[in-house]
């Protein structure tokens, strides 16, 4: 394809940005966004790339959009980093970044698809300033060196990680029985790559996408997105699920021993998470705040952007389970405190903490249309999130988790088009894209629900470079 970054930047620059946007969640200037890519901390700033189709609010030839941030909450849009401009390149699919000396190195999937023939290989682009990227000619990891049975067509989303003095690249794959697996490659210089091992588990779906490997609290953690993972009770209810596996990646034995595996987020809209290690040693995760196979509401309503990222979440392990908490810097954006009572109308952009006991609920209604709402509550010792009355596609009321004690505390991050719930110490999270008219909610509180604290989040300004 001959779509260039220059052409994309000119197109974006000529478009007026839609004022109806999330306030502290990253969304594209115009066009479509899906997976976060190359999340990294480079030269004192966070860099976040994303799967991007500037020319439409639906998925199309994939570019890498790019934004830089001091705190992952205010973003400075940067020029498009990658465009599908190669002869055998119909899309620059997802991938990761790694810092090598003073360079920022991106690994991405070159996707080629013509007349029923599909091929995916891993390629590289390098930058010395974190703004302009030069693709290296040639292919880093070709399908030729793949182990037997590994798909030649579904082989994508490289995640380069430095362990000791070696680089390991985790890549999404599936085997000949349509079972997801992760292929690991090894490199000493990011120029020559050799196959290292395969990580397999039957809970990796029919194809494992977007792997991300890291160490946390003395354990190794592998997260990935598993296509069509069958539902298990309350788990894995979306078309594809994001899972984390905690265990040990044994370099000698060349195996990843999984001690525990679970879903990352139980909500309707959460996919393709990636992490980075920041300058303070925190492991921070962000994901696409949407999912495949939906009717995309913003597209249908004629917005000129579609898709956003979740809020940045700091990860920890408690008793071997992954916990997520909103990044602390959010507090720097706190505005006025919000007074919660039954019937109050409140801003859509806020950080609030609720205490809910059996029979309690808090509902957020469209003030102009009270049949449109979402609700959080506790019933039968279960915390639920009910999105069934949200406009758009029908959502089921879902169990978030069981409630053991007398009550449960839920922190809710709200932005213009989303709700993210963090339960207790972040052992459970629930992410939902939320589309309702207006910029305020009417709150309905019942059964003794109360807000322990709530702050409006102040609006940021965006600057274009
Ligand atoms: C996951 C994914 C990746 C792929 C990208 C294409 O959402 O399907 O596997 O690289 O999206 O945009």
Q: Are strands 208-216 and 334-337 parallel, antiparallel or unpaired?
A: unpaired
- Going along 308-403, which residue ranges are E strands? 313-318, 321-326, 334-337, 345-347, 350-357, 361-366, 369-379, 382-386, 397-402
CA of 51 relative to ligand 1 center, distance in Å: 8
Q: Do the beta carbons of residue 205 and residue 226 sit within 8 Å? A: yes
CA of 338 relative to ligand 1 center, distance in Å: 39
CA 94 to ligand 1: nearest atom: 10
Helix (H) or strand (E) holding 236: none
Q: Which residues of 422-443 are buried (b: 16+ CB within 10 A; e: fewer)?
A: bbbebebbbbbbbbbeeebbbb
Give pLDDT, residue 463.
44
* DSSP assigned state of 9: H
Dist. CA 289–CA 261, nearest whole Å: 22
Give pLDDT, residue 17.
78
CA 95 to ligand 1: nearest atom: 10
For residue 35, indicate whether it is catalytic: yes
Question: Cβ atoms within 10 A of the Cβ of 41, count?
Answer: 18
CA of 93 relative to ligand 1 center, distance in Å: 6
**Sign of the C-alpha dihedral computed for residues 233, 238, 241 and 242 taken in this order:** negative
CA 62 to ligand 1: nearest atom: 12
Q: Do the beta carbons of residue 167 and residue 133 sit within 8 Å? A: no
Q: What angle do CA 226, 228, 231 make, to 5 degrees?
A: 100
Q: Are strands 208-216 and 219-227 parallel, antiparallel or unpaired?
A: antiparallel
**Atom 6 of ligand 1, residue of closest alpha carbon:** 93
- Going along 175-234, which residue ranges are E strands? 180-187, 194-200, 208-216, 219-227
| Ligand 1 probe mutation, 272, 288, 294, most atoms within 8 A of CB | 272
Give pLDDT, residue 460.
59
Dist. CA 97–CA 104, nearest whole Å: 7
Give pLDDT, residue 396.
95
β-bridge partners, 331: none
Q: What angle do CA 365, 367, 368 make, to 5 degrees?
A: 120
CA of 272 relative to ligand 1 center, distance in Å: 8
CA 225 to ligand 1: nearest atom: 1
pTM of the model: 0.97
CA of 112 relative to ligand 1 center, distance in Å: 13
β-bridge partners, 334: 457
Which pLDDT tens digits describe the chain residue by residue (465 residues)?
999 999 999 999 999 877 899 999 999 999 999 999 999 999 999 999 999 999 999 999 999 999 999 999 999 999 999 999 988 999 999 999 999 999 999 999 999 998 889 999 999 999 999 999 999 989 999 999 899 999 999 999 999 999 999 999 999 999 999 999 999 999 999 999 999 999 999 999 999 999 999 999 999 999 999 999 999 999 999 999 999 999 999 999 999 999 999 999 999 999 999 999 998 999 999 999 999 998 899 999 999 999 999 999 999 999 999 999 999 999 999 999 999 999 999 999 999 999 999 999 999 999 999 999 999 999 999 999 999 999 988 899 999 999 999 999 999 999 999 999 999 999 999 999 999 989 999 999 999 999 999 999 996 555 443
Which residue in 35, 154, 157, 278 is the catalytic one? 35
> Which residue ranges have their beta carbon within 6 Å of ligand 1?
34-35, 51, 62, 93-94, 109, 156-157, 172, 209-210, 271-272
Give pLDDT, residue 462.
53
User: What is the gyration radius of the CA atoms in the chain, in angstroms?
Assistant: 22
């Amino acid at each position: 394809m001959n779509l260039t970054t220059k052409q994309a930047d000119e197109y974006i620059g000529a478009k007026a940005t839609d004022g109806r946007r999330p306030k502290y969640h990253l969304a594209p200037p115009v066009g479509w966004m899906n997976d976060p890519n190359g999340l990294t901390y480079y030269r004192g700033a966070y860099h976040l790339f994303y799967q991007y189709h500037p020319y439409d609010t639906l998925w199309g030839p994939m570019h890498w959009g790019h934004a830089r941030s001091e705190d992952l909450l205010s973003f400075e849009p940067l020029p498009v980093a990658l465009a599908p401009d190669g002869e055998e390149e119909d899309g620059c699919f997802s991938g990761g970044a790694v810092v090598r000396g003073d360079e920022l190195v991106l690994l991405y999937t070159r996707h080629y698809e013509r007349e029923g023939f599909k091929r995916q290989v891993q390629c590289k682009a390098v930058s010395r300033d974190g703004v302009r990227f030069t693709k290296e000619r040639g292919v880093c990891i070709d399908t030729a060196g793949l182990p037997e049975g590994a798909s030649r067509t579904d082989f994508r989303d490289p995640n380069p990680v430095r362990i000791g003095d070696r680089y390991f690249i985790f890549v999404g794959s599936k085997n000949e029985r349509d079972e997801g697996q992760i292929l690991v490659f090894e490199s000493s210089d990011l120029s020559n790559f050799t196959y290292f091992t395969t990580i397999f588990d039957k809970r990796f779906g029919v194809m494992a996408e977007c792997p991300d490997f890291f160490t946390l609290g003395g354990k190794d953690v592998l997260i990935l997105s598993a296509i069509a993972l069958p539902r298990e009770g309350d788990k894995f209810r979306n078309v594809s699920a994001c899972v984390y596996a905690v265990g040990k990646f044994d370099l000698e034995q060349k195996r990843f021993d999984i001690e525990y595996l679970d879903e990352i987020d139980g909500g309707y809209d959460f996919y393709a998470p990636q992490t980075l290690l920041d300058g303070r040693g925190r492991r921070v995760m962000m994901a696409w705040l949407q999912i495949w196979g939906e009717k995309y509401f913003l597209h249908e309503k004629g917005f000129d952007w579609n898709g956003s990222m979740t809020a940045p979440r700091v990860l920890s392990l408690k008793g071997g389970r992954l916990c997520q908490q909103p990044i602390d810097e959010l507090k720097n954006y706190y505005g006025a405190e919000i007074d919660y009572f039954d019937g109050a109308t409140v801003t859509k952009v806020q950080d609030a903490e609720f205490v809910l006991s059996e029979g309690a609920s808090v509902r957020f209604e469209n003030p102009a249309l009270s049949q449109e709402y979402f609700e959080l509550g506790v019933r039968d010792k279960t915390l639920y999130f009910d999105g069934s009355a949200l406009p758009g596609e029908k959502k089921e009321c879902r169990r978030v988790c069981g409630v053991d004690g007398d009550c449960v505390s839920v922190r809710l991050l709200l932005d213009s088009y989303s709700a993210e719930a963090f339960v207790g110490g972040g052992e459970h999270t629930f992410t939902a894209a939320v589309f309702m008219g207006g910029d305020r909610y009417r709150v309905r509180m019942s059964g003794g629900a109360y807000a322990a604290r709530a702050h409006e989040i102040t609006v940021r300004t965006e600057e274009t470079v």
